[in-house]
Chain A
C-alpha cells in the first residue's frame, strides 16, 4: 500500500486517504477535434512497466489533485508535483534520468 506526499499540504498520505485519477497530462479535446484526437483523449492510455506519470487526489485530506511520477514495477516514487501544469517539471525529469537512464514516456524522456 503506497504512500505519497501531497505537494499542497505536505502530508505523507496513506493510499487509503488518496484516490487514483489515471494518467497525467492528458490534453482535453472538445468540439472541433477530429475523431482520432477525441478517441485518443478518451480512451488511449499508456501502460508502462517502469516510469509513469499519474494523477492522484488527496481525497480524505486537503482535497487537492496532484501528480505523481513513479515506477509501476518497483513502486519507487520519483516525486509528486502540483496539478496546475501541462508537463512534468524539468527538475523531476532530470532526477528520473539520473535513476532510470534512457526512460521515455509519451513525448517525454
Chain B
C-alpha cells in the first residue's frame, strides 16, 4: 500500500492538515502536497481508468509527463476536466473526481473493453466502423461519442478571469532547475535582461532529490545562494508556476503562469499568458525518465523510479512498502538507496545489464539490497494494484524464473532530454547512442529574423546528466546567450560539483528482449491512449513505415500528454520492427503547447463584454433606451428598428416605413464613413477611384459614386461632396470606412506616390442624422438658423450653417426617395442635436427609424445596397448602373477588368425587380429555376433574389434580383422554389417600385 512516511517530505508542512475530496471521499494532506502525493498518502493507488480498455490506472510520474492521473476538478463555475494530479498543488477544500468510468471507478462497465481488446487493435477506428455504411450514423458514432473523451466538458460559464502580458527580454531561460539558475546567473552577470520561468512552485528542479554537492556544500545551498543573487539583480525577473508553453518565430514565446490555481477564491486573474519576445532563449527543461515496456507495466503501483524517489523526498510518501526495481541504468539505484534509507523494503533490483551498474550499485548492495543482473520483469501481477512480479532473463522470451510478491514496482528505462521547446520552431535533434536519447543538435538550432540560432539548450535538456556537466554547460550557455543578445560578458566561473561515476546505460526497448506475443500485448507504450508494443508492431506489419503515420494510425503520443513518456519507446519499437536504426525512423513533430494550457489563458481578457469591440454612435444610449432591436453592421451596433411596447419587430418596421413616407423619420446615420481627400491632385485621384467623373463636380454639390476593385467588382458606394477646389468629402458604406480609407492610402502610397493628395478618416468626428419625409424641411425651419429651401439648398447640394444653434453641414441627399437632409454635427453634440430634432419634430409626427426601414425605403426606390445586390462577383454593369460609369475617362480602378470577355458576356445576370403574383414575400437568396439539370443533377438556374421585403407602402412583397437577360424579359414569370417546398412565382418588373419620377425627393 502507499502511505505517508514519518520522515522525509522536504516540501510539505506537517504541522498543518488540509482537507480535500476524491470521488466524494474526504481525505487529508499537507500544504506542499500535490494532489497526486496526497492521494498516494491516502493509499489511493488507483486514480482513473484508461481511455480505450478502461483498465485501472495509477500515478506513474511526478510531473507534467503524467499520463494517467487526470481528474475532474472543482464544481459549477470552477469545474475543469483533465487536470493532472501530479502538477495540481493541494489546497483546502479541493474537490476532485476520477474520469473515464461508469458508474464508478471501482466498478466500470466499460472495463469489458479489455476483454474485447483483440477486436480493438491499432487502427480499429478505421477498420471496425467502415461497414455497413448505414451503421455509422446510428450505431458506431453514438457508441464512440459515449465512450470517447476523457473528462466532462464544463456546463457553466467560467467564473475566473484571465489575462495576457506582453514582455520583452534579452535572454529568456525556461526551466528553474540548477541549469536554469546557473544559466540565468551567467547571462545576467553579462548584463542581459533575463527572465527565468519555472513551471513548478519550487526552484532547483530535481537536484534536491538527486542530491550531490556544489563547491563542497549540499546542492540545496547552491540553489538558495544563487536565488539570493538573482533576486538582488535588477535585470532579472523570476517567475514560479510559469511554464514555457511554446517557442515560435522570431523569439516569440508563450509562458503560462498559474496564479490562482492553488489559491481558489483569491481576487485577480487565474492564469496569465506571457507573450514574450526574447532575443535569446535558453531551454533548461531537464529530462524525463522513460518507462520500461514489460507486461503489466500499467498496473497501479508501477511507477517511474525517479517519481517514486520524488514522492519520498519531496512529500514523505511511499508508493509501496515492498518494492521491486527494474532498470537499465544507474539512476534507479538512487531510488533504491533513497527507499531503503526511508525504511522501505527494496526486495530486488533487476538490472537488465549483464554486468550491472557502477559505484551506485555497490552502494545499494552495501545497504543489503539484492541485485540481479541480466534480469527483467516478465509480467506484473495484479488488477487494481500490484501484487507480484514474475522475473525472467532479459535475454529471452519471458519464461518466468521466479515470482516475488510485492506492492510496487519502480522502473527506469533511461532519461530523455525535454527537447520540446528546442524543437517547436525547427531546432533539430541528434541521436546520442551512448545515452540512447535524442538531444538538441547545436549545429541546427531554430533560426530567427537575423538567420542565426536563437534557442540554446543547456543541462539535462542538452543531454548532460551529471550535476558537474550540467553546471558547466549552463554557465557556458548563459554566457553565449548574453553574447548573442549583444552583450560582452566576462568569462564566468563554474561552480564545482562533485563528479559522479556511472556505468553506461544499455538500451532496453522491450523487456524481456524477445517477449512473446502474450506479453507484448500487455506491454504498454502510451498509457493515456492505451497503445501497446503489439499495436506498433502491427502498424509496422501493415506497412506504416513513417513514424508520423504510425502515430496517427495507432494514436501513439496523441493524448493530452503528447507522448512525453511513450514517444521514444514507441519509435524504438517501430525502428526494431522495420529493422532500421532509431535515427532513421526519427521523431514525430513536437508542437506547442508543452502541456495543455487553459482556453481562458488563450482568450485572455477577450471574453464577456470585451470579447470583441462594439462600436457605438453618440446616440447609442438613446437608441438603447428607446427600444432599439440591434443589428450588428461590422463592429457597429445599429438599431434594426425601434420597437414600442406591444409591437413585434415587424410591426415596428412597418410603422417606421409608413411614418417616414407620410410624416417625418430620423435615422442615426453616424456610422456612414466620411473621408476627407485633399490636394491639388484630389480630383484626378478620385477619378481613378470612382467609376464616375468626380473631378468635374462643383464645390457645394454632391454626386453618387461607385468604387470597384482592380478585378472590376463593385466594392463600395456613396455620395461625394466637393468642399472646395482641392477638397472632397467621400461618404462610404457603414462597414466600408476603414477599408476604403486603407484602399485610398494603399494606392497613394504604393502606386501614385507622386500625386499630391492627403486623406483623413473623419468618420467619427461627426454624428450624422438623416431627416427624412414630407415634413423634413418644416422641422428644420422650425429649429431655424439656416435657409434650407429648395432654391438655396437644392437636391444634391450641401451647405454649412447653423440649425437650432448647432453648427452643422447639411447634405440634400436621399437614400429613401423622400425629401431628405443628412445633417452632420460634431459627435460631442450628436445626442443633443438628435434630441432637439425629436422635440421639434413632435408636431410633425417624428419617429426614429432603423436599418430595416432604411432597407425597405431604398428597395421601394430600386436603390442597390452593397452586400445585398453585390457579393464580390457583381460589376456595376450588372446592376444597370452604366449611367454612373464615365465613358470619358481613360482609366479608373476596375475599368480594364470590366473589359474582359467574362465581364462583357451578355449572359451575365442583370438586376431587375421581382413581384410575386399573390403579393407574398419571396424568400431571400432563392434561385429562379430554368429548364433541365446540370451535370450534378441539380436543376438549372437563371437568376436569384438579392433583396426582398414586404412593402407597407405598396401593401405587397417587393424584391430585386439578378436574372439572365432580365431587363429584356419584363413581364415574364419566373419560378423560385423555397426551402419550405413552396414554389413562388414572380414577375420580372422595373426595380423602381415607387415614385419613378423622383417627385417626392425633389421638392
A complexed with B: yes
| A30-B891, A42-B897, A76-B450 known; A63 vs B745 contact (CB < 8 Å) | yes
Determine whether B800 belongs to the interface, using a CB cutoff of 8 Å to chain A: no
**Does A64 lie within 8 Å of B449, measured CB to CB?**
no
Bound state CA distance, A64 and B897, in angstroms? Answer: 27
When distances are taken between beta carbons in the complex, the residues of chain A under 8 Å from B590 are none
- Is A74 engaged at the interface, CB distance under 8 Å to the other chain? yes
**Assuming the A-B contacts A30-B891, A65-B750, are A75 and B249 also in contact, with contact meaning beta carbons closer than 8 angstroms in the complex?**
yes
Q: A63 CA to B746 CA in the complex, in Å?
A: 10
* Residues A1-29 near B (CB distance < 8 A): 1-3, 14, 21, 28-29
Q: When each residue 338-363 of chain B gets 1 if its CB lies under 8 Å from chain A and 0 otherwise, what string results?
A: 00000000000000000000000000
Report the separation of the CA atoms of residues A2 and B451 in the bound assembly, to the nearest whole angstrom: 13
B193 at the A interface (CB under 8 A): no
Query: What is the CB-to-nearest-CB distance from B247 to chain A, in angstroms, rounded to a whole number?
Result: 11
| B899 interfacial contact with A, CB 8 Å | yes
Q: Out of A38, A55, A99, which one reaches B750, CB within 8 Å? A: A55
- Does A47 sit at the interface, judged by CB under 8 A? no
Least Cβ–Cβ distance between B249 and chain A, in angstroms: 5
Chain A 64-75 interface mask (CB, 8 Å, partner B; 1/0): 110000010011
CB atoms of A74 and B745 under 8 A apart: no
Residues of A within 8 A of B742 (CB): 57, 59
Q: Does B277 have its Cβ within 8 Å of any Cβ on chain A?
A: yes
Given the contacts A1-B250, A74-B451, A57 and B896 also touching, CB distance less than 8 Å: no
Q: A42 — which chain B residues lie within 8 A by C-beta?
A: 710-711, 897
Q: Is A101 an interface residue (CB 8 A)?
A: no
Is A83 a contact partner of B449 (Cβ separation < 8 A)? no
Contact residue among A21, A38, A77 (Cβ-Cβ distance under 8 Å from B900)? A38
B890 within 8 A of partner (CB): yes
A1 and B249 contact, Cβ closer than 8 Å, known pairs A75-B449, A76-B451: yes
Contact indicator B746/A57 (Cβ below 8 Å): yes
Chain A-chain B contacts (Cβ-Cβ < 8 Å), number: 65
Q: Contact mask B245-289 → A, CB, 8 Å, 1/0?
A: 000111010000000000000000000000001000000000000
The residues in B between 21 and 44 inclusive whose CB is less than 8 angstroms from any CB of A are none
Measured between C-beta atoms, what is the minimum distance from A86 to chain B in Å?
A: 10
Q: How many residues of A contact B (CB 8 A)?
A: 29
Instruction: Give the residues from 445 to 501 in chain B that come closer than 8 angstroms, CB to CB, to chain A.
Output: 447-451
Contact check: which of A21, A31, A59 meets B890 at CB < 8 Å? Answer: A31
- Asked whether A76 and B449 contact (CB < 8 A) given A33-B896, A64-B749, A83-B749, the answer is yes
Task: Report if B135 contacts A (CB, 8 A).
Answer: no
Q: Please tell me if B751 contacts chain A, counting CB pairs below 8 Å.
A: yes
Once the chains bind, are A31 and B896 in contact (CB under 8 Å)? Answer: yes
Any A CB within 8 A of the CB of B895:
yes
Instruction: Give Cα distance in the complex from A35 to B249, angstroms.
Output: 40
A31 close to B895 (CB less than 8 A): yes
Contacts of A83 in B (CB 8 A): 749-750, 753
Contact residues in B for A3 (Cβ distance below 8 Å): 250, 277, 449
**B762 to nearest A CB, angstroms?**
15
Q: Is the CB of A28 within 8 A of B248?
A: no
Kindly list chain B residues whose C-beta atoms are within 8 Å of the C-beta of A65.
Answer: 745-746, 749-750
Contact with A along B433-452 (1 / 0, CB 8 A): 00000000000000111110
B residues near A84, Cβ cutoff 8 Å: 749-750, 753
Q: Contacts of B250 on A, CB cut-off 8 Å?
A: 1-3, 75
* Bound CA–CA A21/B742 (angstroms): 12
Kindly supply a per-residue 1/0 record for chain B positions 679-714, scoring 1 wherever the CB is within 8 Å of any chain A CB and 0 otherwise.
000000000000000000000000000000011000
What is the distance, in angstroms, from A94's C-beta to the closest C-beta of chain B?
16
The answer for the CA separation of A84 and B746 in the assembled complex, in Å, is 11
Q: Which residue of A lies closest to B452 (CB)?
A: A76
Decide if A2 touches B249 in the complex (CB within 8 Å).
yes
The 0/1 profile, CB within 8 Å of B marked 1, for residues 46-64 of chain A is 0000000001010100011
Partner of A74, one of B248, B277, B447, B897: B447
A30-B753 Cα distance, complex, nearest whole Å: 17
Given the complex, which residues of B lie within 8 Å of A30, measured CB to CB? 891, 895-896
Smallest Cβ distance from B222 to chain A, in angstroms? Answer: 37
Least Cβ distance of A91 to chain B in Å?
17
Q: Which residue of chain A lies nearest to B277 when distances are taken between CB atoms in the complex?
A: A3
Task: Tell me the nearest residue of chain B to A8, going by C-beta.
Answer: B749
- B999 to chain A: closest CB distance in Å? 39
**CA distance in complex: A76, B249 (Å):** 10
Smallest CB-CB separation from A14: which chain B residue?
B277
Which residue of B749, B750, B890 has the most chain A CB atoms within 10 A of its CB atom? B750
For A38, list chain B residues within 8 Å (CB).
896-897, 900
Please indicate the chain A residues that have their CB under 8 angstroms from the CB of B252 in the complex.
Answer: 1
Given A74-B447, A74-B451, A75-B449: A35 and B900 interface contact (C-beta under 8 Å): yes
Q: Which residues of A contact B249 (CB under 8 A)?
A: 1-2, 75
* A31→B896 CA distance, assembly (Å): 5
Task: Answer whether A77 and B890 are a contact pair too, CB < 8 Å, given A57-B746, A65-B746.
Answer: no
Q: Are B891 and A31 in contact (CB under 8 A)?
A: yes
| Contact digits for B945-976, partner A, Cβ 8 Å, 1 yes 0 no | 00000000000000000000000000000000
Distance A84 CA – B750 CA, assembled complex (angstroms): 6
Q: Which residues of A contact B896 (CB under 8 A)?
A: 29-33, 38
Check if B449 sits within 8 Å of A28, measured CB to CB. Answer: no
Could you mark each residue 572-597 of chain B with 1 if its beta carbon is under 8 Å from any beta carbon of chain A, else 0? 00000000000000000000000000
A99→B746 contact, CB < 8 A = no
Q: Which residue of A lies closest to B741 (CB)?
A: A63
Chain B min CB distance to A30 (Å): 5
Q: A63–B745 Cα gap in the complex (Å)? A: 8
Which residues does chain B contribute within 8 Å of A57, judged by CB atoms?
742, 746
Q: B277–A28 contact, CB under 8 A?
A: no
Q: Which residues of B contact A76 (CB under 8 A)?
A: 447-451
A19 to chain B, nearest CB (A): 8
CA distance A57 to B900 in the complex (A): 30
Interface centre among A30, A35, A84, A99 (most CB of B within 10 A): A30
Instruction: Give CA–CA (A76, B746) in the complex, Å.
Output: 26
Q: Which residues of A contact B899 (CB under 8 A)?
A: 31
Q: Which residue of A lies closest to B748 (CB)?
A: A65
Q: Which residues of B contact A63 (CB under 8 A)?
A: 745
User: What is the chain B residue whose CB lies nearest that of A41?
Assistant: B710
What's the nearest-Cβ distance from chain A to residue B844, in Å? Answer: 45
Q: Which of A1, A63, A71: most chain B Cβ within 10 A?
A: A1
Nearest CB to that of B166 among chain A residues? Answer: A14
Alpha-carbon distance between A29 and B742 when the two chains are bound, in angstroms: 21
Query: Would you list 16 pairs from A and B whose C-beta atoms are within 8 A, ordered by A residue?
Result: A1-B248, A1-B250, A3-B250, A21-B746, A29-B896, A31-B891, A35-B900, A57-B742, A59-B742, A64-B749, A65-B746, A65-B749, A76-B447, A76-B451, A77-B450, A84-B753
Residues of chain A touching chain B, judged by Cβ–Cβ distance below 8 Å, are 1-3, 14, 21, 28-33, 35, 38, 41-42, 55, 57, 59, 63-65, 71, 74-77, 83-84, 99
Q: A3-B250, A31-B895, A38-B896 are in contact. List 4 more A-B contacts (CB 8 A).
A: A31-B891, A57-B742, A65-B750, A74-B447
Closest 9 CB pairs of A and B: A76-B451, A84-B753, A65-B749, A77-B449, A1-B252, A30-B891, A83-B750, A31-B896, A3-B250
